[in-house]
Structure 1
Amino acid sequence: MTVVLDGAHLTCERVDRAARGSGIALGSTGRAEAAWRTAGLLDGPVYGRTTGVGANKDVAATDTGLDLLRSHAGGAGPVIEEFRARATLVVRLNQLLAGGSGVDPALLPVLADAVNQGLTPPIRTYGAIGTGDLTALATTALCLMGELPWTPPAGPSELSEQGGTRAGDPVPRFALAPGDALPFISSGAATLADAALACHRLGVLLSAATTVAAHSFRAIEASLEPLSPVVQRGPEQTGVASGLRALIGSTSPRRVQDPYGYRAFPQVHGAVLDALGRAERTVAEEMNAAPENPLIADGRAWHNGNFHSARVALALDALRAALVQTATLSAARLATLNDPAHTGLLPFLAERPGLSGVMILEYVAHSALAELRHLAAPVTLGGAVLSLGTEDHASFTPQAARSALAAAEPLEIVLACELVASVRALRRRGLPCDLPLDDAMHDRPLDADLDAARGLLPGLTPRRP
């Protein structure tokens, strides 16, 4: 389904859809056109248009914009994946449609055409610290100008039904005016793209986590008393408990109280969903706003710091910390599934005494959990002073967004380990389970089982509304 960009309604899910191959279409360009007309009438010093940038802010300069693009396109490290680069174009397009940049609106359909052809700029990994993705967007600008080549799509599977580079399609080109150079790159679009992709993927996994936990509840006959409506507080916790009760149905509890992995699931998982919701809202607000400096509005240029993304960095730091909490509970439930005291089965769900069964899953889960803890280190404790002291703070949101995106893999692995063990426990106890995982119980390599379980996670439960 085509994603329509209008500068007001872009969501994390729509960014993900467009990045993975859905075509895009432009909504109204009225606000962008109004800002462009205003920019053409401005008098007096305007940062980046009639002055230098950074420490050169007080130096009068004209027609230096193209040199600015060439000097700022110097990122480092590996080129980011196509879907991330495509998401960057989508986010920047949406921001430009929100108005405020003053960039020539004739640029917008050209940039949209690049997305729909599956073309991406060769954006390098390193170069931003949370005060604008200057290297990423300067590289994009040079592709538009023809000074750098677009990267063609890797294969047909990555393209939209309408898109794809076809023989005879013109290569998207646009001659940016010098005055449009800084306005085009004054954005954290690449960072917001990573943040949006991360929020969407983590949301899918966290939704699946409730179904995974439900299998474990049934496997050990955990008490449903902690899920009772009378003990819940807060909308997220209440929703988690309600959803989990519906998935489990009923159990025949054997213990007065179960370990925290079961008893505290609504509290811990409710907290991570609350953090996710806050991150999603914050990222969406930023993607549908004009981060421009200066902001062209109400007939003048407003010099400001809206490019600074402290809100996003703080929200992503909180989200990654919360992920560790919910993954830790998953690993704890995995331990109970290996324990005869909770399952009534042989240790490690082995086929016969002395065998290792799914023992190795605990090692795999804790390996992934260790990586998740590493990725949860807060970036907002850092600092930087740049450009001769003119820029004396940084949010390091790009690092927060990359870490959030990277956190999806270890979280997925932890959940897959629990799912493989819970399905085996259910089957060994003769309880119903219709998931298409291998039902062989003999000792064997479990990597294929984990791969299959990871593939099942996105479809286990519907995406949260």
Structure 2
Amino acid sequence: MERMSTTVTPSAAPTPADPARTVVVGVGPVTMDDVVAVARHGASVALAPEALDAVAAGRAVIDALAADTQPHYGVSTGFGALATRSIPAERRTDLQRSLIRSHAAGTGPEVEREVVRALMLLRLSTLATGRTGVRPATAQAYAAMLDAGITPVVREFGSLGCSGDLAPLAHCALALMGEGDVRDATGTLRPAADALADAGLTPVVLAEKEGLALVNGTDGMLGQLVLALHDLDRLLATADVAAALSVESLLGTDAVFADDLQALRPHPGQAAAAAHLRTLLRGSGIMASHRGPGCTRVQDAYSLRCAPQVHGAARDTVEHARTVATRELAAAVDNPVVTPDGRVESNGNFHGAPVGYVLDFLAIAVADVASMSERRTDRFLDVSRSHGLPAFLAHDPGVDSGLMIAQYTAAGLVSDLKRLAVPASVDSIPSSAMQEDHVSMGWHAARKLRRAVDGLGRVLAIEVLTATRALDLRAPLVPALATGAVRDLLRARGVAGPGPDTSLAPDLDAVAALVASGEVLAAADADRTADEIGTSDRDRHLQVPISSGRTDLEAGPEPTEETR
């Protein structure tokens, strides 16, 4: 059978544009769906007329200050520790140009195209509020560059997350000036001046305040947060699918997922995960096979029994991060900022702590979900814990090693995820001659979360690969429709079932791609009704009542190690 593409992490190459979608950037915030559409799917971008009016009004304030004899930060002064230096009018174009050139100081590998497009859209959204003081022509040029698919080359290292993502945004502004390198709409690396010319665009000569307005924001870390949230909605639901496959193939019980038991601890994410697991295991012949009096098993291991609690806590962490992201999308981050009553004021809104914290929180949740997944995978391979399955699910144990080393790979990934869970936001390093003496490191938090999200998908893929092989070995017992559909998807895509050893790497990559694309989740959820999907995923966060989980039941005996 033809094997599918194994690309998991978005590359620098552009995805096909979505000509049917245009994101109109107005005075109000863009949505998370807008960010994904522009970043990943090449949606068109346009500025709303009311946004241009707001931009013009904000610019009028800056023009008035530029004519003032008193110094105004970012308009007629230097920057950072040089803020006390007054700059004469004839040198202010040089000031803005020098700001961008000096701040475009990134180094290291090229950042993914979708990340750059996300941060550009978010910077454009802030420009459109009229709070930054740029000229309408500058905002229009920025929108046109994004709409033309011209993506500035941004490097991995250079941002401290305060004052925002300076270096990444400076590389974007550099391209707007016709300098530096870009990827054009085909993904070809080119000088910015050439790409702009071919798109019919003219490089911008920046005026007062515009350099600051183009670089002083948390757009890089926020864009990566939005993309991670989009991916984690899918991956956490896929973690439920992997857990359901494991519970079923290890002859576990779904009784612990009962709604009344979950309601005793009324966390909305836990309720959603448990409801999803119940639906996924509905109608399983394997589950039914050990519900009778002949089954001697009392309780399953924590990695099976406590999946709703761990997956649910991760869901709740995602919901908190989504709340933060929604607020940030509505923000106008710049320094100084043009206020609604026409003042220009310095402020500290560029500090990335709110975003940096939740990026770190998510990395912790991702590592823990992956850790639990790897423990379920390991149970299949140990004859003392797999309930009748062959050692390492091998065809001929001893001659064949089966999936032994797949678990090693999962363990290595989980170890990496644990290191990535170390918070970046506590690691401030002063800069700019101690003027910027506390920074957020939000960009670093975003970069490590991006790697962690990819790792989680791969760990879940190994569990899915392992559990579906075990599912085949349980024949003639019949699986649930949902879990059987996942097994059938893998076989249809050429992923090997039980049999003599073959190279595992192609299968691991193929299943990872199926997880990343959402096809594993779609196969599992194909039998779910719209009502079930709406009440057991993130919408359920709005529907679960928060009531006491305590009852008047008498406490039982202290659990032993065997019955805990």
- Is the TM value for this pair above 0.5? yes
Partners of 1:421 and 1:79 lie apart in 2 by 35
Please name the residue that 2:514 is paired with.
456
1:222-250 Cα shifts (integer Å, max 9, x gaps):
11122111222211111110111011115
Please name the residue that 2:212 is paired with.
182
1:188-227 Cα shifts (integer Å, max 9, x gaps):
2222222222222233222211112111121122111221
Task: Give 1:172-251 correspondences, 5 Å limit.
Answer: 172-232=202-262, 233-249=266-282, 250=284, 251=287
The answer as to whether partners of 1:295 and 1:301 remain within 8 angstroms in 2 is yes
Partners of 1:403 and 1:128 lie apart in 2 by 13
Unaligned runs of 5+ in 2: 1-20, 189-194, 523-536, 540-564
| Structure with max Cα Rg | 2
Partners of 2:98 and 2:519 lie apart in 1 by 49
**Which of 314, 323, 347 is 1:304 aligned to?**
347
What's the offset of the Cα at 1:336?
1.7
CA change 1:190–1:166 in 2 (3 A) is closer
Identity %, equivalent residues:
36
Please name the residue that 2:325 is paired with.
283
Query: 1:385 is aligned with what amino acid?
Result: P
**Which of 372, 377, 396 is 1:352 aligned to?**
396
The answer as to whether partners of 2:134 and 2:210 remain within 8 angstroms in 1 is yes
What's the offset of the Cα at 1:342?
3.1
Tell me, yes or no, if structure 1 residue 59 matches structure 2 residue 85: yes
1:241-300 Cα shifts (integer Å, max 9, x gaps):
011101111523442110111111111111111111222222232233111111101210
Partners of 1:128 and 1:204 lie apart in 2 by 29
CA change 1:335–1:145 in 2 (3 A) is same
CA change 1:464–1:10 in 2 (3 A) is farther
1:66-117 Cα shifts (integer Å, max 9, x gaps):
2222222222222322222222211111121233111112222222221222
The answer as to whether partners of 2:221 and 2:356 remain within 8 angstroms in 1 is no
Partners of 2:196 and 2:71 lie apart in 1 by 45
Please name the residue that 2:531 is paired with.
none
What's the offset of the Cα at 1:154?
4.1
Partners of 1:268 and 1:111 lie apart in 2 by 43
SS in 1 for 2:151: coil
Partners of 1:380 and 1:204 lie apart in 2 by 26
1:329-384 Cα shifts (integer Å, max 9, x gaps):
10111112223433422121122343322111110100111111111111122122
Partners of 1:190 and 1:353 lie apart in 2 by 50
Please name the residue that 2:314 is paired with.
272
Please name the residue that 2:106 is paired with.
75
Partners of 2:224 and 2:432 lie apart in 1 by 26
Please name the residue that 2:25 is paired with.
5
Query: 1:6 is aligned with what amino acid?
Result: G
Please name the residue that 1:442 is paired with.
500
The answer as to whether partners of 1:138 and 1:185 remain within 8 angstroms in 2 is yes
Report the more deviating stretch, 172-181 or 328-337.
172-181
SS in 1 for 2:161: coil
SS in 2 for 1:4: strand
1:379-404 Cα shifts (integer Å, max 9, x gaps):
12212222222111011001000001
CA change 1:460–1:26 in 2 (3 A) is farther
Query: 2:436 is aligned with what amino acid?
Result: E
SS in 2 for 1:130: coil
SS in 1 for 2:121: helix
Partners of 2:327 and 2:351 lie apart in 1 by 14
Q: TM-score, normalised by structure 2?
A: 0.77
Query: 1:378 is aligned with what amino acid?
Result: P
Please name the residue that 1:105 is paired with.
136
Unaligned runs of 5+ in 1: 157-164
Partners of 1:388 and 1:353 lie apart in 2 by 64
CA change 1:365–1:115 in 2 (3 A) is same
The answer as to whether partners of 1:111 and 1:172 remain within 8 angstroms in 2 is no
Partners of 2:426 and 2:498 lie apart in 1 by 49
Partners of 2:29 and 2:395 lie apart in 1 by 54
Please name the residue that 1:144 is paired with.
176
Please name the residue that 1:31 is paired with.
54
Q: TM-score, normalised by structure 1?
A: 0.92
Please name the residue that 1:160 is paired with.
none
The answer as to whether partners of 1:6 and 1:98 remain within 8 angstroms in 2 is yes
SS in 1 for 2:212: helix
CA change 1:256–1:9 in 2 (3 A) is farther
Tell me, yes or no, if structure 1 residue 261 matches structure 2 residue 303: yes
Query: 1:245 is aligned with what amino acid?
Result: R
Partners of 2:206 and 2:142 lie apart in 1 by 12
What's the offset of the Cα at 1:12?
3.6
SS in 1 for 2:206: coil
Partners of 1:121 and 1:344 lie apart in 2 by 56
Partners of 2:244 and 2:129 lie apart in 1 by 43
Tell me, yes or no, if structure 1 residue 342 matches structure 2 residue 372: no
Report the more deviating stretch, 356-365 or 455-464.
455-464
**Which of 320, 323, 336 is 1:294 aligned to?**
336
What's the offset of the Cα at 1:168?
5.6
The two structures, once aligned, show a CA RMSD in angstroms of 2.2
Report the more deviating stretch, 320-329 or 136-145.
136-145
Partners of 1:218 and 1:23 lie apart in 2 by 45
The answer as to whether partners of 2:118 and 2:220 remain within 8 angstroms in 1 is yes
SS in 2 for 1:335: helix
Please name the residue that 1:19 is paired with.
39
Please name the residue that 1:162 is paired with.
none
SS in 1 for 2:514: helix
What's the offset of the Cα at 1:464?
5.0
Partners of 2:273 and 2:393 lie apart in 1 by 28
What's the offset of the Cα at 1:149?
4.5
SS in 2 for 1:78: strand
Report the more deviating stretch, 455-464 or 420-429.
455-464
Partners of 1:456 and 1:37 lie apart in 2 by 52
The answer as to whether partners of 2:108 and 2:156 remain within 8 angstroms in 1 is yes
The answer as to whether partners of 1:350 and 1:358 remain within 8 angstroms in 2 is yes
CA change 1:9–1:49 in 2 (3 A) is closer
Query: 1:296 is aligned with what amino acid?
Result: V
Query: 1:339 is aligned with what amino acid?
Result: D
1:290-329 Cα shifts (integer Å, max 9, x gaps):
1111110121012100000101111111110111111111
Partners of 2:302 and 2:31 lie apart in 1 by 34
The answer as to whether partners of 1:100 and 1:296 remain within 8 angstroms in 2 is yes
